[in-house]
Chains A and B, each alone.
Chain A
Amino acid sequence: MLAALLRFNFLGGLYMSFLSHLISGVSLGSIYAIIALGYTMVYGIAKMLNFAHGDVIMVGAYVCFFAVSRYDMPVIPSVLLAVAACTALGVFIERLAYKPLRSAPSLAVLITAIGMSYFLQNSAQLLWTSNPKVFSSVVGNGSVKFFDGRLSISYNVIVTVLACIIIMSVLTWFTGRTKMGKAMRACSEDKDAAQLMGINVNATISMTFAIGSALAAVAGVLLCSVYPTLMPTTGSMPGIKAFTAAVFGGIGSIPGALLGGTLLGVIEIFAKAYISTQLSDAIVFLVLIIVLLVKPAGLLGKQVQEKV
């Protein structure tokens, strides 16, 4: 009798820890998904990889950090300020660095993007030094308890997942049902034909950068609420992971970014919890390699036939 109870408790504990890992995986994955959207939308429309995207996240987090801690602004206006700053930054980067290369070989654009990434990191280092700042969560550190306190879900997790769901549904609506969204899809299919239909391709690309960068700011704030160390290099690893997530789900596809991001987050947390903390990143990328071997276009990506 006693043995059976113990066993039940033991199994229950295992189940609860599994559940809590799953939840934090989904939460981390939601952040990856929000960042991945920026990569995937820009790739879909401008056919370029914006490697500076990860650093836009970092800038967003810094803006929010300073607004809250130095200027004592309330949380919501600070987040909005970060969003506005990143939107402007994204459009500025596009105008300055990528627009002049619209017809350049894709390799030149890629190198420019990498350069832009280092430029942002080093500017941040100059402006804000490389000393880590401690970011305090924008949603507080409380949590909701379930099952007599055996499972606790922090506010961070709830807000992150909710934000991801809201962003995904708004974006799906936006790209599917509004004229700007349709213009984006048209540009991603055939820029010249879109232009001849009176659609301003440059404005559409700028808008895509604006949306992606606004989302990056949200992701930056959410990310630093969970992992509070803020440094000029904070954005680079999540940036690369989110890029992986975008490729994983099928780059160019919005649902693909959601699926890829969530799966990547869950795999990462499970690998950390059950296999090895040090190896977790290696495992994540191993899964990516296996998926790409089986489905080269990613999980939801369309197989593109090369034009001959």
Chain B
Amino acid sequence: MFERGQKTKLAPLPATIFVPERDVDKQPILEAHNLGIDFGGLTALDGFNFAVSPTEIAGLIGPNGAGKTTVFSLLSKVYQPTRGAILLNGRDTMGMSTVQVNRAGIARTFQNIRLFNNLTVEDNVKLGLHNHIKYGMLSGILRTPNYWKQEKSAAMRVKELLSIFNMEHMVGKRAGSLPYGAQRRLEIIRALATGPKVLLLDEPAAGMNPSETDELMENIVKVRDTFQIAIVLIEHDMNLVMGICEGICVLNFGKIIAKGAPGDIQNNPLVIEAYLGRQKKDGQHAES
């Protein structure tokens, strides 16, 4: 459909959900065209059209099992799509592996935290920096000046990154021993260390209390402002989604049912029926 790695000119997408004023003249950083995936006979996602502008915070919401995490897995190439295309910065990512797409600029966090628990906080972040630390195996064994230089600058970068969330003092701790909230923040830092253009956050506020969530909201905006990147987040916490997302996309049964600014979504009868109404009734938002 599109040549891999080639700039592809496409008509402006009706899919663009919301373009913040500062991004009006810019091409979207991430586009999904008619994306779909089947697992055996089951269509998990179909006709997914979506675009994110370069410094947008976009939300992906929907009831449990709607296909939100599937979208993330497709964007990060854990699954290869059955149909459609994903464009990163105008380039098709077709056939790219998870590693390649990460190098190209997509990083993610996980619904259930997946840090390297037995490694220190510093090493976890350094693993995010893996592709930015440049020395060979031999210079690692022989400890050449280049090795020391690279490791030193990596260590400084780790400190810088940790300082965004005021976590410098935890640098030597084992990741698995951190409190829950700190683990969530560390996961975001580790993903940021890979140098993404688009950061995918899968339920960043899961399991957080309201004050922690408020702090997280500030932090997400701060990350966007500092790094000038796009952030796409899956979240069930409506305060968070309506509070910081500029564009929202609602999924149900693998299909988009609504797209738009937070105000439009809140008043959309389809959304209320599929999602918000139910959300109010049982007030639970645990996902398997």
Contacts and interface: CB of A to CB of B under 8 A. Distances in A.
Interface in A168-226: 170, 173-174, 177-183, 185-186, 189-190, 192-201, 207
B27 interface: no
Interface string B118-137: 11000100111011010101
Nearest to B187: A193
B99 A199 contact: yes
Contacts of B107: 196-197
B116 A189 contact: yes
A284 B269 CA distance: 74
In this complex, the member of A173, A186, A193, A198 whose beta carbon has the largest number of chain B beta carbons within 10 angstroms is A198
B118 A198 contact: no
B163 interface: no
A199 B130 contact: yes
B103 interface: yes
A199 B137 contact: no
Interface residues of B, number: 34
A308 to B, nearest CB: 14
B130 A178 contact: no
A261 B136 CA distance: 30
B197 interface: no
Contacts of B110: 193
A156 to B, nearest CB: 25
A179 B99 contact: no
Contact of B116 (A173, A177, A178, A185): A185
B114 A178 contact: no
B108 interface: yes
Nearest to B76: A196
B140 A198 contact: no
Contact of A170 (B131, B141, B194): B141
B147 interface: yes
Given A196-B78, A196-B102, A197-B194, A190 B140 contact: no
Contacts of B98: 195-196
Contact of A174 (B115, B131, B140): B140
Contacts of B116: 185-186, 189-190, 193-194
A272 B110 CA distance: 55
A185 B118 CA distance: 9
A200 B141 CA distance: 20
Ranked nearest first, the 9 interchain pairs of A and B with the lowest CB-CB distance are A178-B140, A198-B102, A193-B114, A195-B98, A198-B131, A189-B116, A179-B133, A186-B116, A186-B127
14 contacts: A173-B141, A178-B137, A178-B140, A178-B147, A180-B140, A182-B123, A183-B127, A185-B123, A189-B119, A195-B97, A196-B76, A197-B127, A197-B190, A201-B99
Interface of B: 76, 78, 97-99, 102-103, 107-108, 110, 114-119, 123, 126-128, 130-131, 133, 135, 137, 140-141, 143, 147, 151, 154, 190-191, 194
Interface of A: 170, 173-174, 177-183, 185-186, 189-190, 192-201, 207
Given A170-B141, A179-B130, A198-B130, 4 more contacts: A182-B119, A185-B116, A197-B107, A200-B99
